[in-house]
Chain A
Amino acid sequence: MKAMEHAQAAEAFIRDEARTDWHDETLWFVRQKRDLAAQGLPEWEQLRDWASGIKNHTLSNLSQYLALFEENALKNGIKVHWAMDAVEHNQIIHQIIKEGKICRMVKSKSMLTEECHLNAYLAAQGIEVIDTDLGERIVQLRKEAPSHIVLPAIHLKKEDVSDTFNEFLDTEKGNNDPQYLTESARQHLRDYFVGAELAITGVNFAIAETGGFVVCTNEGNADMGAHAANIHIACMGIEKLIPKAEHLGVFLRLLARSATGQPITTYSSHFHRPRPGQQMHLVIVDNGRSRQLGRADFRNSLKCIRCAACFNTCPVYRRSGGHSYHTAVAGPIGSILNPNIDMKANADLPFASTLCGSCSNVCPVKIDIHEQLYKWRQVLVKEGHVPSSKKTGMAAMTLVLSKPTLYRLAGKMGRVALKYAPFVVNNSLNPWYKQRDMPQAPEESFREWYQKNRK
């Protein structure tokens, strides 16, 4: 839920300078690992092209693929549910829990359930879901949201995790060893796995041709839950479809390399039929995706495979932290997906970017992220979702830049002010003065210099 705009939240985040630097460097390190992995494959750019082409094709035929996928999934014995929005998604899951009289349930990582605020919905009904991804369990215990879709606890230091585990898992106070802390979480969560009656997972890819779906993890938590429990519910957005199993050959080569620099995740599990005696449910969710499909400028954001490469490379994300985006999916991709879900609430996000284009360069499915950020800004201004100070500023800028005389006068005034009366600009009324010094004013403008030196 939004407590403040991105810029305000980011200002709070960067107050701790050492931690900001650590966050920035750690994510850049992940980006470098991605580069090494990508450079290890001569066909990398070809793979990105294919992935983009397969997703474009799928989106252009999505209704048919959805129908085909359902037909095949039903033949496989999977129960298929459809949800228009987050509320319906949550109600469907709640209903399955009620019917099964379930008390003990585990959930592996699913950004869709975060988007739908499933945990909060179920908690309001008195139902507790245990998150089993280590990073998600850490933030769940701290009553926080994940700050990154692949590395949910990347905003925390090991000391924070140690304190949290000391409080909830009774680990030694002050023992910050990641090995020790991970082992403690393993023991703590194992009891939940073994006792689980129901397991909720996300979906990385759904295969239209075979009616099955693929879930990727490193920890093995999705499999531990899904194979232990008698009921498995998998949740997916409509954009997770791919036409054929052979296309996984392209996507699984790109996903982990783009995400963490690994050649593949430890587990890439293909679910097609429930095991004997098990119920397997699949919830297919729209929640604004079909609307995004209709926006020509923004539809290809639906190609996203949630690798988070755009987060790790983004200079704004790295220095503002995931929570400042106040949405389930943060970072550059979140900033083009979220205005579709709620334009007013997320109008600040497309402005949380320098438009440097690094996100588009690393995207494994070639989404033109920075161009869409720019286009969202135009839409948001037109729809009146931008603060009037920004509009007034832009109008003043337009006036000055369109009148040469005015422009030259303004430039001269600026130079004079910086030289003789720096206090006029070096004060808290000037947002450019925040955290940076104003530049030394040159003696003359380029135009004046050019007129003198032209030969």
Chain B
Amino acid sequence: MSSKNRILQATAENQPTLTQLPFIDFDSLIQYPDPVAAFEMVLKKIGGEIIHFKNEEEILKSISKADQDGEFVLNTFRQQEGSLAPFKNASAVELAHLNRVYLCGALGVAENGAIWLDENAMVNRLLPFITQHLVLILNAKNIVATMNHAYQNIRVDESGFGTFIAGPSKTADIEQSLVIGAHGPRSLTVYLFHN
């Protein structure tokens, strides 16, 4: 018998009588009077930064004005798909010197400052991780209260990969001292717009 069949058979023989799944009652979940304010507070606590914009145009202006002398910067916000095509299948070697990347987040979570983005928004799965600094652009309207709400609003298998990102990469593996900038980005800034 194959290992698969042996495992499935042993599991079937040993599993207890079927129990029911609990009902997740959304009425018992925490409610934030101001989810955007809660999001901002948690984000700062976990090492992220936030800049508010009136609308998307202002973000675009700010990105084009940003100091980019000689640094490897990649902006995906309001870009023609064709201009990003070369990065789609770029290897880690080619992306190793990325300094700053701008990506669009789909949804933010007030309780933990996390932002969901999937493969389509990333262009290349490596981008949000390999860059030294990451900027996530988010519409304030797309902030939900909790992770329970978040999963009501996304389809995790819509693309081949998706992730919640909450702040910059970090570690406390040396004597529990928090250090920002482990293997991923050294900073995370959220550009939040309110139109």
Contact = CB atoms under 8 A, between A and B. Distances in A.
B4 A270 contact: no
B151 A161 contact: no
A174 interface: no
Interface in B89-132: 89, 91-93, 96, 109, 111-114, 119, 124-126, 128-130
Given A54-B21, A134-B173, A193-B183, A275 B111 contact: no
B30 interface: yes
Given A227-B129, A263-B42, A56 B179 contact: no
The bracket for how many chain A residues form the interface is 35 or more
Contacts of B150: 249
Given A186-B181, A246-B152, A266-B184, A277 B4 contact: no
B164 interface: yes
Given A152-B173, A238-B7, A253-B147, A265 B184 contact: no
Nearest to A134: B173
Interface stretch (B11-19, B51-59, B68-76, B78-86): B11-19
A190 B183 contact: yes
A286 B14 contact: no
B33 to A, nearest CB: 14
B66 to A, nearest CB: 23
Contact of A60 (B18, B112, B172): B18
Nearest to A223: B129
B147 A151 contact: no
A186 B156 contact: no
B14 A293 contact: yes
B182 A182 contact: yes
Interface stretch (A80-88, A422-430, A431-439): A80-88
Interface in A73-104: 76, 82-84, 88
B22 A49 contact: yes
A59 B130 CA distance: 38
B22 A53 contact: yes
Contact of B173 (A151, A211, A228, A270): A151
Contact of A264 (B19, B20, B164): B164
A294 interface: yes
Interface string B155-195: 11101111111111111111111010111110000000000
B148 interface: yes
B7 A82 contact: yes
B167 A266 contact: yes
